[in-house]
Amino acid sequence: MAVSGGGKDYSGFDLTGQDLGGQTLNGKEFRGTFAKGASFKDSKLRGCSFFKADMSEVDFSGADLSSASLEEAGLTGALMDGAVLESAYLTKTIADAESIKGADFTEAVMPLPTQKALCARADAIGKNPTTGADTRESLMCV
């Protein structure tokens, strides 16, 4: 299913298993969307809202999620490798992601226990291929 550049609201859509990779979807609303197993690989998702969306097992590898809101999104098994999450709004569910290798969390807003949980992960390593930011440094791990 291709999602066009028009319209801003995909809230509540069923995008389960869909390939949305490589698309420019900046500023779109995905609130309450069901997208289990979908691919947003290398997509531009700046400023998108995924509030309470089911994004379990979604591939966000290489996606630009700068300033996106992933508040209370279901992220169990999600792939965040190489994703850019600069200034993103995150809640504890980001810790449910399967992999965060090379992700850039610069200026991301998240609860302190979540930040600590991410820093404790073995896959909180690498440099982001787009921004060059070190994952551990962007998480402010000590």
Q: Is residue 52 part of a domain?
A: yes
Task: Tell me if 130 sits within 8 A of 108, measured CB to CB.
Answer: no
Task: Name, in order, each residue with C-beta under 8 angstroms of 132's C-beta and a sequence gap of 6 or more.
Answer: none
Token pair, residue 29, equals: 């609303």
32-85: per-residue pLDDT in tens?
A: 999 999 999 999 999 999 999 999 999 999 999 999 999 999 999 999 999 999
The domain of 104 spans 8-142
In a domain, residue 3? The reply is no
Average per-residue pLDDT for the chain:
95
Query: Is the CB of residue 71 less than 8 Å from the CB of residue 92?
Result: no
pLDDT band at 7 (very low <50, low <70, confident <90, very high): low
Q: Examine residue 126 and state whether it is found in any structural domain, yes or no.
A: yes
Does residue 101 fall inside a structural domain? yes
Closest CA to 139 of 96, 103, 91: 103
Residue 125 has pLDDT above 50, yes or no: yes
User: Does residue 41 lie in a domain region?
Assistant: yes
CATH number at residue 22: 2.160.20.80
Residue 130 main-chain phi, psi, to 5 deg: -90, -50
Cα dihedral 16/129/46/48 (nearest 10): 30
Residue 2 lies in a domain: no
What is d(CA 79, CA 93) in angstroms, rounded to the nearest whole number?
13
Number of domains within the chain: 1
User: What local confidence, expressed as pLDDT, does residue 142 receive?
Assistant: 80
Q: Is residue 46 domain-resident?
A: yes
